[in-house]
Structure 1
Amino acid sequence: MQTFEAITSRRAVKHFDPEHVLTADEERELLSLAVLSPTAFNIQNWRFVVVKDKALRAQIRAAAWDQAQVTDSSLLVIMCADLKAWEKEPERYWANTDQGTRDILLPAIDNYYRGKEQTQRDEAMRSCGMAAQTLMLTAKSMGYDSCPMDGFDFDAVGKLIKLPEDHVISMFVAIGKATKEAHPRGGQLPLTDVVITDTF
C-alpha cells in the first residue's frame, strides 16, 4: 500500500476479530519500523509495552471503560516513555558516529534536559505520538486496522503494568483485523481554518 493511501484510509477502528493473531514476523516488522520513528537527539525514549497476557488485558480493559478493543485486538501496545532516557548511557545513542560528533552532542543532550522536567515530559509525548503514528500507518500498510486510545485510567494501568517511577504512559495503540468499518469521517476542517501563514 502506498503511503498516501495508508494515510487516507487509516481510521480509528473499535471492533476487532478477537480470534485473529498476528504472526511473530508481523509483530516484529511492526515494532522494527516503529523504532525508526524520530526522537530528539536520537534518545529513543519510547518504550513499547506489548500486553499478551489475557488476564492482564482483561484488567486493563476494566480500567479503560470496558472498551472491547483492549482485549479483542490482535496486538495491544501501551506507548510509554522513559523520562530519564536522556541521561541513561547517552553515548549509546550516537555509538555509530565519530568522536567529534559525540563530543558535541552528549553535552548538548545533558544541557537540554537536565533540571527541565516539563521538557522531559513534553519530549516523551512527542516521541510516543510519532511512534504511534508509525505503528498505525505500518499496520494499515500491512492490511490491519488500529485504534489510538487515551480513554483509560492512567494511574490504574500504570500499576497493572508496573510502570517505573521515571516513566510515563502516553497512549494505547490497538492493532488487529477489523470486523466492522469505522463510522464515516465526522468532517475535516478546511485548510483555511488550520493553516496559518507566518503569524496568527
Structure 2
Amino acid sequence: MHIFEAIESRRAVKHFDPEHRLSAAEQAQLFELARLSPTAFNLQHWRFVVVENPALREQIREAALGQAQVTDASLLIVLCADLNAWSKQPEQLWTHAPSAVQDFIVPLIDGYYRDKPQVQRDEIMRSCGIVAQTLMLAARGLGYDSCPMDGFDFAKVAELIQLPEDHAISLMLAVGKATQPAWPRGVQRPLGEVVIRDRF
C-alpha cells in the first residue's frame, strides 16, 4: 500500500475480529518498522508491552471503560517509555558513529536531560506519539486497522502490567482486523486555520 493511501485510509476502528491473530512474522515486521521511528539523541525510549494473556486483557478492559477493542483486537500494545533512558549508557547507541560525532553527542545528552523531569517526560511523550503513528501506518500497510487509546485508568494499567517506576505510559494501541468500518470522518479544520506562516 502506498504511504499516501495508508495515511488517508487510517482510521480509529472500534470493532475487531476477536478470532483473528497476526502471525509471528507480521508482528515482527510491525515492530521492526516501528524501531525505525526517530527519537531525540537516538535514545529509543519506547517499550512496547504486548498484552497477550486473556485474563490480563480482561482486567485492562475493565480499566478502559469496558472498551471492546482491548480484548477483541489481535494485538493490544501498551506504549510506554523509559524516563531515564538518557542516563542508561546512551553511548552504546552511538558506537557506529564516527568518534567525533560520539564525542559531540554523548555529553549533550546528559546536559539536556539531567535534573529536568518535565523535559524527560515531554520527550518520551513525543517519542511515543511518533512511534504510535508509525505502528498505525505500518498496520495499514499490512492490511490491518488500529485504534489509539487514552480512555483508560493509567495508574491501574500501570499496576496491571507492573510498570517500572522510571517508566510512563503514553497510550495504548489496538491492532487487528476490523469487523465494522470506522465512524464517518469528522470535519477537518481548514488549512488556513491550522497552517501558520512564520508567526501567529
Determine the structure 1 residue equivalent to 2:182: 182
Q: Look up the SS of the partner of 1:132 in the other structure.
A: helix
**Percent identity for Structure 1 against Structure 2:** 64
Task: Provide the C-alpha distance between the structure 2 equivalents of 1:20 and 1:8, rounded to a whole number of angstroms.
Answer: 24
Task: Provide the C-alpha distance between the structure 2 equivalents of 1:188 and 1:92, rounded to a whole number of angstroms.
Answer: 43
Determine the structure 2 residue equivalent to 1:156: 156
Q: Residues 113-124 of structure 1: matches in 2 within 5 Å?
A: 113-124=113-124
Are residue 39 (structure 1) and residue 39 (structure 2) matched? yes
Most deviating of 164-173 and 89-98: 89-98
Task: Provide the C-alpha distance between the structure 2 equivalents of 1:60 and 1:95, rounded to a whole number of angstroms.
Answer: 39
Determine the structure 2 residue equivalent to 1:128: 128
Are residue 97 (structure 1) and residue 97 (structure 2) matched? yes
Determine the structure 1 residue equivalent to 2:17: 17
Letter in 1 for 2:179: T
Task: Provide the C-alpha distance between the structure 2 equivalents of 1:30 and 1:95, rounded to a whole number of angstroms.
Answer: 26
What is the TM-score with the length of structure 2 in the denominator?
0.99
Deviations 1:104-127 (A, max 9, x none): 111000000001100000000000
Letter in 1 for 2:77: V
Determine the structure 1 residue equivalent to 2:28: 28
Task: Provide the C-alpha distance between the structure 2 equivalents of 1:157 and 1:95, rounded to a whole number of angstroms.
Answer: 36
- Structure 2 unmatched ranges of 5 or more: none
Q: Residues 36-75 of structure 1: matches in 2 within 5 Å?
A: 36-75=36-75
- Structure 1 unmatched ranges of 5 or more: none
Deviations 1:134-166 (A, max 9, x none): 000000011000000000000000000000000
Q: Look up the SS of the partner of 2:47 in the other structure.
A: strand
Task: Provide the C-alpha distance between the structure 2 equivalents of 1:64 and 1:92, rounded to a whole number of angstroms.
Answer: 37
Task: Provide the C-alpha distance between the structure 1 equivalents of 2:8 and 2:99, rounded to a whole number of angstroms.
Answer: 43
Q: Which runs of 4+ in 1 moved over 2 A?
A: none
Shift of 1:186: 1.2
Shift of 1:41: 0.3
Task: Provide the C-alpha distance between the structure 2 equivalents of 1:41 and 1:156, rounded to a whole number of angstroms.
Answer: 31
Q: Look up the SS of the partner of 1:168 in the other structure.
A: strand
Most deviating of 96-105 and 5-14: 96-105
Task: Provide the C-alpha distance between the structure 2 equivalents of 1:178 and 1:106, rounded to a whole number of angstroms.
Answer: 44
Task: Provide the C-alpha distance between the structure 1 equivalents of 2:191 and 2:92, rounded to a whole number of angstroms.
Answer: 41
Determine the structure 2 residue equivalent to 1:112: 112
Cα RMSD, aligned residues only: 0.5
Deviations 1:151-186 (A, max 9, x none): 000000000000000000000010000000001111
What is the TM-score with the length of structure 1 in the denominator?
0.99
Deviations 1:74-116 (A, max 9, x none): 0011000000000101111101112221111110000000011
Letter in 2 for 1:109: I
